[in-house]
Structure 1
Amino acid sequence: MSPDPALRRVFEAHFPGVALPSDIAAGIARRRLADGRSLFMQGQKTTAFYAVAAGEIETRFSAANGTVSVIENVGPPRLFGLAAFAAGRPSEYEAIARGASEVLVFGREAYTRLMDEVPGFARALLAEFACRRSGARTRPA
C-alpha cells in the first residue's frame, strides 16, 4: 500500500481490501489548485479521474440559459470525474476548487494498470459505480 496518507484513505474508503502496489501508486500524481481554479470544464473530455486529497472541489452544471447549479461540494477522500473518464465521454459538469485544494490524479496508465493488474480493483470500482447509481453516499459494511 502507498505511504501517501491521502491515497491510502481513498483506497480504504472506495476500494476496501484492495492492495495498491507501490509502483502503481507512484504513477498517481497530485495536483494543487488555487481557489476558483478549474480542474476541468463541462463538455471537456477528461484525461483522468480524481480524488480530493485536501480542500474541496465544487462540481457544477451550467444550463444553456446560463443558470449554474451546484451538484456537490466534494471533500476528502471522495472520487469524482470517474464516469466521464471511464466512458471516454465529455464531462457533464465542471469541477472548480473552493479554496486551496489538492487532488490525486488517476490518469489512463494508472487506471489501466489498476484494472488489469490489481486483483479486486475492477469489482470494487463496479461496486463504487453501483453505490453512486443507487444514490448511496457510503458503502454498506
Structure 2
Amino acid sequence: MSETVVFSQLSRKFIDENDATPDAAQQVVYYSLAIGHHLGVIDCLETALSCPWPEYLAWIATLEEGSTARRKMEGVPKYGEIVIDANHISMLANAFDAALSMQTPEQQAWSKTLLSMLHDIHQESAIYLMVRRLRD
C-alpha cells in the first residue's frame, strides 16, 4: 500500500469573471462562496502538488520544531487532512522560505510550489488549499 500527500487548490470560482465586482460588494461575494456548500455550490479542486508520504514527513521536519507552521503541517498525519487559507499565508510562507536552505532539491521544489500557491491565495483570498493523505 502506498501513501501520498496531495495538495488540491480551488480551481474555479462561482463568480462571473467578465464583470468587475464593485469593492463594496466583494465581501458579499466571499461570504456567498464561504456558505456556498450550504447552498448547493460545489468547489472544483485540482491537484497542484503531490508527494510520497515518507518524503512529506521529511519535508515538514525541515520546518522549525514547535513552530505554528510545523504544527499546522503536522495536521495531515494527525487528522488526515488540513485546509490552508488566507489566514495561514504569512506563517507558512515565512516558515517554508526560512527552511529552503536546509532542504533537498526535491523539497525546495515542493516549497517553491507551495509558496506560489500561497501567493495565489494572497492575490485572491477566496482560493484555498485542501491537503490530504491518500492511501492506495
Give the TM-score range, shorter chain.
0.3 to 0.5
- Higher Rg of the two aligned structures: 2
User: Which structure dedicates a bigger proportion of its chain to strand?
Assistant: 1
TM-score by length of 1: 0.31
TM-score by length of 2: 0.32
User: Which structure dedicates a bigger proportion of its chain to helix?
Assistant: 2
